[in-house]
Amino acid sequence: MTTPRLEIKNLTQAYGDRHVVDDVSLSVMPGQVTCLLGPSGCGKSSTLRAIAGVDQQSSGEIYLDGELISGQGTHVLPEKRSIGMMFQDFALFPHLSVAKNVAYGLGRKSQTTRDRVAALLDKVDMRRYIDAFPHELSGGEQQRVALARALAPKPRAMLMDEPFSGLDNRLRDEIRDHTLSVLKQEDTAVLLVTHEPDEAMRMADEIALMRNGKIVQQGAPYNVYNAPIDKDAAGFFSDINVITGVVQEGLIATPFGPFFAPAAKEGAKVDVIIRPQHLKIEFDRAGRGPNPTSEQGTGARGVVERARFMGNESLVEFRMDFDGSILKATVPSVFLPKVGTAMWLLIRRDRCFVFPR
């Protein structure tokens, strides 16, 4: 069995009674990108600081290629860990040229190795700027230089704390994809912090979803998105519609007919979660609506409250006849029905989730 490049076990960081990181365990293989995803203040950056050695954890162990580097009385200094770091602000030295910024990552004994610096800059397509200064570069170019400097000491793992959030949308995808391509070529294990679900889905081989200092769900992006552990996990990745009901004889009454809730107790409140893209709009000019016994399930009638064009899709809000609740549906391209128009909605039951309230 292959040894993880980076592994943390039962990592805890406490300040008094407050646990900012609470019993976190994860592993990252060589060439793998794992995203720590969660809202601000959930413990993502604190986890990175402990792994880097900037802070010493309260308990737990950190391993690099199977070797203990922190925990059980061991604490390897940050500069001895063979772990690189990239930040949002790039942290380039403004008074040093690009060459000297990259050479700084090689250590004092190697600051004159211009060939090695040039090779690193070739990897990030920045060799032509070898004698430029940071203020002469764009944000994307500075980020590439920061990557070359981080790669200079040949780190076995790379920690990245929202390194692309300072770039404009036009550049972000290009720089992000190129950066990860270079790191994978180097067989570097990457642990990246972000609060952007779209970024995590695009970049990660594995996502670790954090909340209140804990990892609440971990897995491939497809699995984390399509099998959320609870309502908050589902809502973190996209807008959701929430239909609340009470379990009666194992069923929940909804505008779309009854739902099974076999794990819920009689009389318990539960939430049925459906994403807007999984609501299908059916317009029947005769007002009859979909056939209740069709393969698509029971239709529910709603009246358009609002319709907005969002660029790639349209968002339509309906007030449902069933209980007066508001449900949102997204439709590809332009679809802007008039306010007050009655329409019928269907749902994909295989894309619905039922959670205790």
Per-residue pLDDT for 289 more than 60? no
The confidence score (pLDDT) of residue 130 equals: 93
Q: pLDDT for 132-161, tens place per residue?
A: 999 999 888 898 898 899 888 889 999 999
Burial of residue 273 (CB within 10 Å: 0-12, 13-18, 19+) is buried
pTM: 0.86
Top-confidence residue, 204 or 104 = 204
φ, ψ at 320 (rounded to 5°):
-80, 140
Give me the percent of the chain exceeding a pLDDT of 70.
94
* Mean pLDDT, range 86-103, rounded to an integer: 87
In the sheet that holds 279-282, the strands lie side by side as: 279-282, 342-347, 300-309, 313-320, 326-332
Binned at pLDDT 50, 70 and 90, residue 298 comes out as confident
* Mean pLDDT, range 77-88, rounded to an integer: 89
From the list 59, 23, 62, the residue with the least C-alpha distance to 43 is 23
Helix (H, G, I), strand (E, B) or coil at 92: coil
* Mean pLDDT, range 51-62, rounded to an integer: 95
Q: pLDDT for 200-222, tens place per residue?
A: 999 999 999 999 999 999 999 99
The confidence score (pLDDT) of residue 285 equals: 46
The confidence score (pLDDT) of residue 286 equals: 47
For residues 244 and 52, what is the distance between their CA atoms, to the nearest angstrom?
Answer: 44
12 Cβ neighbours under 8 A, 6+ residues apart: 19, 21, 22, 23, 24, 57, 58, 59, 60
Q: What share of the chain is helix, strand, coil (3-state, %, to 5)?
A: 25, 35, 40
The confidence score (pLDDT) of residue 13 equals: 95
Q: Lowest-pLDDT range, 169-173, 190-194, 336-340? A: 169-173
Helix axis angle, 169-185 to 139-151, nearest 10°: 20
Strand-strand pairing, 189-194 and 157-161 = parallel
For residues 300 and 282, what is the distance between their CA atoms, to the nearest angstrom?
Answer: 10
The confidence score (pLDDT) of residue 109 equals: 56
Handedness of CA 48, 54, 55, 57 (dihedral sign): positive
328 Cβ neighbours under 8 A, 6+ residues apart: 239, 241, 276, 279, 315, 316, 317, 318
Question: From the CB of residue 287, how many other CB atoms can be counted at a distance below 10 Å?
Answer: 8
